[in-house]
Amino acid sequence: MKPIKLNIKTKSASYPIIIGSNIIKNLVTYLNKNSINFNKCLLVIDKKVPNKMISEITRSLGRKKIFKFVYFANEKNKNLSYVNKILQILLSENFSRKDCLIAIGGGITGDVGGFAASLYKRGLQFINLPTTLLSQVDSSSGGKTGVNTKEGKNLIGSFYQPKIVISDIKFLKSLPKREIICGYGEILKHSLILNKIFYKYLDNNGKKIFKLKTPFIEKAIFESCKIKKLVVEKDEKETGIRKALNFGHTFAHAYEATLGYSKNLNHGEAVILGIVTALKFSLKNKLMKTKDFQVIIKHINKMNLPSNIKKYFSSKSLNSILSFMKKDKKNTSKKINLILLKKIGSLTIDNQYNIEKIKKFLKKELVN
């Protein structure tokens, strides 16, 4: 199957997303075609990426002067300390703004690397090579970068678009099933918020996508990126419709933070739990019909996705979850802003609820 190309055009930048299998070996060709030039580059690499893939990337870069920063990318290491370590390398090697930072890893690596690139001399060329399904379908495009703090997730960051995103399906073949589930959560989210036809495609072909079968995995990635493109081009800085991409995330980020970004709950798993919680809240508040709710839950169960928050939390967790929800970056008042679903392909973005109403709802979810 030939590589698929999708172009994103925002007010601040335009760049391509290339999707295909075994395409990373042609990295320099893609850079040249898109007039991306540099002498030096820093590879910011997640330690979990197989060495043979890194070797393939370095070979494809040819005579470029290459520096490497390898670290264990997890939510706990997604912090300012690691951003500073990257900046110190760029400073000590006297990178110019015409040089380049290449992120090789999942969403965390892209967020940390992209944030460092946005800070260095007010903007260093940034290339994203996402290696997880979640990052290929969501976080690698759109320009959101940032880090976590003890106060919450992604509260410090910037909007900074990459020069190019290259999503090689070959990377996905080294991932455990749990990582595929995480990515599928974001794919499902995209279908629910804006594309009923895509949702039906997932319902019919979800198992094939899980097995990374061609052309099903390529279509899933492409359609997700197309939805992201549609939203980001209309609202780059998340002042309106882009909030839709946070469906399920207000709950999800609070769940992750409550567990201290534990390995027991990955971001993608938290997103799926957050989606289920948001669906239940939508139903409870009569924004969606029972039949629409049941159709989605049936699909989640069919795909064996995590759906029971009581597996991870008890009523003792309630105050912590609420505390982190209060700090969510979408809030503009003392009320909590939730993105909620009316039906598949239709949602409502600015729903303000007081904390007591959410507390009452979550208490029942954690006890019943």
Residues 113-130: pLDDT tens digits?
A: 999 999 999 999 999 999
Q: Pick the catalytic residue: 238, 256, 269, 365?
A: 238
pLDDT at site 1? 85
Residue 256 designated active-site: no
Q: Pick the catalytic residue: 163, 189, 226, 228?
A: 228
Residue 257 has pLDDT above 90, yes or no: yes
Residue 186 designated active-site: yes
pLDDT at site 114? 98
Q: Which of the four pLDDT bands, split at 50, 70 and 90, describes residue 4?
A: very high
Q: Pick the catalytic residue: 122, 150, 316, 334?
A: 122
Q: Which of the four pLDDT bands, split at 50, 70 and 90, describes residue 367?
A: confident
Percent of the chain with pLDDT over 90: 97
**Over residues 51-75, mean pLDDT:** 95
Domains of the chain: residue spans and CATH: 4-173 (3.40.50.1970), 177-367 (1.20.1090.10)
3-state SS of the chain is: CCCEEEEEECCCCEEEEEEECCCHHHHHHHHHHCCCCCCEEEEEEECCCCHHHHHHHHHHCCCCEEEEEEECCCHHHCCHHHHHHHHHHHHHCCCCCCCEEEEEECHHHHHHHHHHHHHHHHCCEEEEEECCHHHHHHHCCCCEEEEEECCEEEEEEEECCCCEEEEEHHHHHHCCHHHHHHHHHHHHHHHHHHCHHHHHHHHHHHHHHHCCCCCHHHHHHHHHHHHHHHHHHHCCCCCCHHHHHHCCHHHHHHHHHHCCCCCCCCHHHHHHHHHHHHHHHHHHCCCCCHHHHHHHHHHHHHCCCCCCHHHCCCHHHHHHHHHHHHCCCCCCCCCEEEEEEEECCEEEEEEEECHHHHHHHHHHHHHC
Residue 28 has pLDDT above 90, yes or no: yes
Residue 246 designated active-site: yes
pTM of the model: 0.95
pLDDT tens, residue by residue, 66-93? 999 999 999 999 999 999 999 999 999 9
Residue 190 designated active-site: no
pLDDT at site 19? 98
Q: Pick the catalytic residue: 75, 78, 144, 266?
A: 144
Residue 368 has pLDDT above 80, yes or no: no
pLDDT at site 330? 86
pLDDT tens, residue by residue, 162-214? 999 999 999 999 999 999 999 999 999 999 999 999 999 999 999 999 999 99
Q: Pick the catalytic residue: 128, 154, 195, 246?
A: 246
pLDDT at site 329? 86
